[in-house]
Structure 1
Amino acid sequence: MDAFIQQLLNGLLSGSLYALVALGYTMVYGILRIINFAHGDVLMIGALVGLSVIRVLQAAFPDMPPVLLLLAAAMIAMAFCAVLAVVIERVAYRRLRNAPRLAPLISGIGVSLLLQTVAMLVWTRNPQMFPQLLPLAPIEVLAGDATHAAVTNATALTTIGVALSLMVGLLLLVERTRFGRAMRAVAENPQVASLMGINPNRIIVMTFAIGGALAALAGIMMASNYGSAHFYMGFLPGIKAFTAAVLGGIGNLKGAMLGGLLLGLIEALGTGYLGAATNGVFGSNYQDVFAFIVLIAVLVFRPQGVLGERLATRA
């Protein structure tokens, strides 16, 4: 049981991060029907900007509490990446809204490579050590005795708590507020929404900004948990978050949340139990394989996702 709880904690940690990034994919797809493949690199920029903010604040205010350092870095990085996501929408996607579907895809891949190159030039190719600002002391969860206990730490618990809180907050924003109703109206039919006094461009810009801010926070939390940040760190989480969005039903907010958590749990339980059953042959080195197996299975057997609906194609 303690091993099972340990894998659940590991899965919730990675799954909550996937879910935060998947929300950006699914919101943009829900409104524009395009996949923003530069979204994973917004996560990377957020982590590196947060790291730079922490270094500047530590040099200027040596006695600043670590929690305030992390909070300030997160707020500034989220604001920066919200603006960055808006710029990406304006430059890479706005003129391609009515273009063939392949055009925005290629544009997004180009922006992704551009962001990676800029990050390489600014922060170098070498991984940057991210300071551990939250306590790393082990916390035993449902411990039976000292030798059989699931172990976590304050950084992981904070990450899970913050991620789940933001997911609930975003869901309430979309379902209970005027802005959320406007988002749903633009996603349903932007032309009709504009006739009702809604500015579709404003809603699209705000959607990109929210997605960029969530990706930046996910990047900082990921760097805090793993202790490093680098120019290529957004690629795999971005692909896995896209897989999570497809798993849950892309375009569906609840689906993105569920898909992210499910994917994290599948990875953790798969590597934990399959690795033990094969004496480590399929251990953590093969963790990424599970995400792509899930993606292939979903596309083959249920392409609309767990919570998605199969829609008829209009003639």
Structure 2
Amino acid sequence: MLYFFQQVLNGLHSGALYALLAFGYVLTNGILHRTNLAYGALFAFCGQTMILTAAFGYQMLWLTLLAAVALGVVAAFFYAALISHVLSRSVFEPLADRTPNAIVVTTLGILLLLSEASRIAADTHDLWLPPMLAQPIVFAQGATFRATLTLIQLIDCAVVVAAIALASWAFARSSFGRRWRAVSD
């Protein structure tokens, strides 16, 4: 039974990351009314960029782990903004008057391009940084097994819940949210 509880805890952490991805997808789909398959690939590409930049900062620039991760996060946000802007201006605006199938096919091509770019950039190697905030927190314990999550997993879950709750509140109560709903409708 403890093993099952451990799998539920693992699922909560994975589910939190998928919930954040799904929330962004719903916002994108709600405003465009078109399926954008490249959204997840952009999310993964920027995550890979964060890992590559953090590993470079930690191993080559000899930054502290926290500074290397911060550098990786800044690089990921920069690439997300850059790629989103380029795709918006050069790909999606010219396709605005086309059929939804044209958008789906185009975003599938972008998905393949970003996936392959991530694979090539990583040179098909796994990159690992030292564990950060990896202290296990025990939720239940038996004679030979403990159901745990690490501190960073709990922080991830809390940040995701807070981000989604704050964004939901902002979309429900702010003038920006009102304008977003008007454009979506």
Shift of 1:16: 0.8
Alpha-carbon separation, structure 1, partners of 2:93 and 2:17: 28
- Matched with 2:166 is 169
Alpha-carbon separation, structure 1, partners of 2:70 and 2:172: 28
Shift of 1:180: 1.7
* Superposition map of 1:151-190 within 5 A: 151-188=148-185
Question: In angstroms, what is the RMSD of aligned CA positions?
Answer: 2.2
Secondary structure at the aligned position of 1:95 is classed as: coil
CA deviations 1:18-73 (Å, max 9, x no partner) are 111112221111011111101121122112211232133223244x2x33432332
Q: Give the TM-score taking structure 2 as reference length.
A: 0.86
Note if 1:142 corresponds to 2:140. Answer: yes
Alpha-carbon separation, structure 1, partners of 2:134 and 2:151: 6
* Superposition map of 1:206-217 within 5 A: none
Alpha-carbon separation, structure 2, partners of 1:103 and 1:178: 33
Alpha-carbon separation, structure 1, partners of 2:143 and 2:172: 45
Alpha-carbon separation, structure 2, partners of 1:162 and 1:142: 23
* Superposition map of 1:18-57 within 5 A: 18-57=18-57
Shift of 1:77: 0.8
- Matched with 1:243 is none
Q: Give the TM-score taking structure 1 as reference length.
A: 0.53
- Matched with 1:117 is 116
**Aligned residues with identical type, % of pairs:** 26
Q: 1:61 to 1:129 in 2, by over 3 A?
A: closer
CA deviations 1:249-300 (Å, max 9, x no partner) are xxxxxxxxxxxxxxxxxxxxxxxxxxxxxxxxxxxxxxxxxxxxxxxxxxxx
Asked whether the 8 Å contact 2:32–2:184 carries over to 1, the reply is: yes
Shift of 1:109: 0.6
Alpha-carbon separation, structure 1, partners of 2:87 and 2:132: 32
Secondary structure at the aligned position of 1:97 is classed as: coil
Secondary structure at the aligned position of 1:183 is classed as: helix
Q: 1:97 to 1:111 in 2, by over 3 A?
A: same
Alpha-carbon separation, structure 2, partners of 1:130 and 1:12: 23
Which residue type is aligned with residue 38 of structure 1?
Answer: A
Q: 1:40 to 1:127 in 2, by over 3 A?
A: farther
Secondary structure at the aligned position of 2:94 is classed as: helix
Asked whether the 8 Å contact 1:38–1:109 carries over to 2, the reply is: yes
Shift of 1:141: 0.9
CA deviations 1:217-252 (Å, max 9, x no partner) are xxxxxxxxxxxxxxxxxxxxxxxxxxxxxxxxxxxx
Which residue type is aligned with residue 39 of structure 2?
Answer: H
Q: 1:146 to 1:75 in 2, by over 3 A?
A: farther
> What is the aligned length?
184
- Matched with 1:71 is 70
Alpha-carbon separation, structure 1, partners of 2:163 and 2:3: 28
Asked whether the 8 Å contact 1:42–1:81 carries over to 2, the reply is: yes
Shift of 1:11: 1.4
Asked whether the 8 Å contact 2:134–2:152 carries over to 1, the reply is: yes
Alpha-carbon separation, structure 1, partners of 2:101 and 2:143: 56
- Matched with 2:94 is 95
Secondary structure at the aligned position of 1:141 is classed as: strand
Which residue type is aligned with residue 138 of structure 2?
Answer: E
Asked whether the 8 Å contact 1:92–1:108 carries over to 2, the reply is: no
Secondary structure at the aligned position of 1:46 is classed as: helix
Secondary structure at the aligned position of 1:96 is classed as: coil
